[in-house]
Amino acid sequence: MTYCSPDEHVCHSAKDESSDFIYMYEKFFKDLGVILPFDSFATGVFQMLGVAPTELHPNSWASMQAFYVGCQALSITLITPLFLSYYTTRVVKQVGWVSLSPLPKGSLFNIFLASYKGFKNHFVKVAVVGGASFSTDCEPLPLYWKFAPKFKGFDRKNLFPEEKFDLGLLEELLRGMSCKELGFDLYRLMQRALKKRGLAVGANYSSQGATTAKTKPSTTLKVVVMAKKTSIVVADSTQHPQILIPFGELERVCSMDMMMAYHLCPMAAIKMWKEMLFRAEETNKERDLEKLVKELEESKVEVRREKAYLEFLSHEATQSKAEVEELKISLESLKSKLAEAKAEVLSLGTKVA
């Protein structure tokens, strides 16, 4: 990892005779805690969107990191299709930064910074050594800028059953959570951790005995590179949370303190996510209870209404029955009178004869 010359731009690509490399904005490491090599999740995002790492806007990187923390909190497997089922891309006619845009009613997080400044002209060049790869799984990824096609979001119908189950857990979360509240400012956290040991960020360190370390001004970026056959870890020795400074040059306890500080933000973020999920579940339970109580009251009112209506019908039936009895009596009376009238007619006929 080295600083770039003034005539270099992040959109440049390697020449035919040069080895492959990638550019990385310093803000990725300082603000967002990005580490190298890329894991399968980040590599999958680059592949699916067809973008180089610096071609993706820092705010979109923040959304990726926030999603990573959220999946950790919920014990969800971190996969690219699940993440990209929440986003489409915003692209311009010319080659430029690609930004993730949340799908309607699908934004889990608010934007990291409304106006992300100070990142464009501060970037470094990263190259692999010893046959290593830019990704942990050795999968290829776009290294250089090119025109990225419009991405309309991953169709959730194509998710596997277990992924749909994880999606259901994510859907239970509150919308519009703040990326900043998930604790990405690891650089300042590291400043405080180093200051406790009498060290300053931005300086080179050399061991002076078993328990002391002196500092001297540095005009270049000191880098720690650890390479294996299949992967590479590259870090700014004083700014990156994964390696920070060469562990061999400091006390072991200092290294452990820094590693604990590195894990503090994700642990706090996970706890916050769990608390938010718990509050959301409690809120949903309260809403469900209120809904049930309301439905019960409505049912009681409906039962009373139905009971009153039944009583009305019963009263009407009783009245109708009484009227029928009265009609029967009137009919019997009419029959009796008719019989008497017939008898009188017969009597009159006999007298006339």
For residue 125, pLDDT beyond 60: yes
Let me know if residue 302 belongs to a domain: no
**Which of 62-66, 225-229, 289-293, 324-328 has the lowest average pLDDT?**
225-229
Residue with tokens 């720690």: 224
Let me know if residue 146 belongs to a domain: yes
Let me know if residue 227 belongs to a domain: yes
Let me know if residue 328 belongs to a domain: no
What DSSP element (H or E) covers 21? strand 21-25
Let me know if residue 149 belongs to a domain: yes
Of 256, 55, 293, nearest in space to 151 by CA: 55
Please report, rounded to a whole number, the percentage of residues in the chain having pLDDT higher than 70.
60
Q: What is the pLDDT of residues 161-218, one digit of tens each?
A: 888 888 887 777 767 676 666 554 444 444 554 455 555 444 333 333 322 333 333 3
Query: What are the C-alpha distances in Å from 136 to residues 24, 43, 103, 322?
Result: 17, 9, 30, 92
pLDDT band at 236 (very low <50, low <70, confident <90, very high): very low
Q: Average pLDDT of the chain? A: 69
Residue with tokens 């400012």: 185
Say how many domains are in the chain. Answer: 1
| Cβ atoms < 10 Å from Cβ of 121 | 11
pLDDT band at 5 (very low <50, low <70, confident <90, very high): low
Let me know if residue 306 belongs to a domain: no
Q: Which domain holds residue 27?
A: 2-289
Let me know if residue 323 belongs to a domain: no
Let me know if residue 118 belongs to a domain: yes
Dump strand ranges (E) for 53-109: 87-90, 99-102
pLDDT band at 1 (very low <50, low <70, confident <90, very high): low
Dump strand ranges (E) for 195-339: 204-207, 213-216, 223-227, 232-236
Query: What are the C-alpha distances in Å from 323 to residues 226, 289, 309?
Result: 104, 50, 21
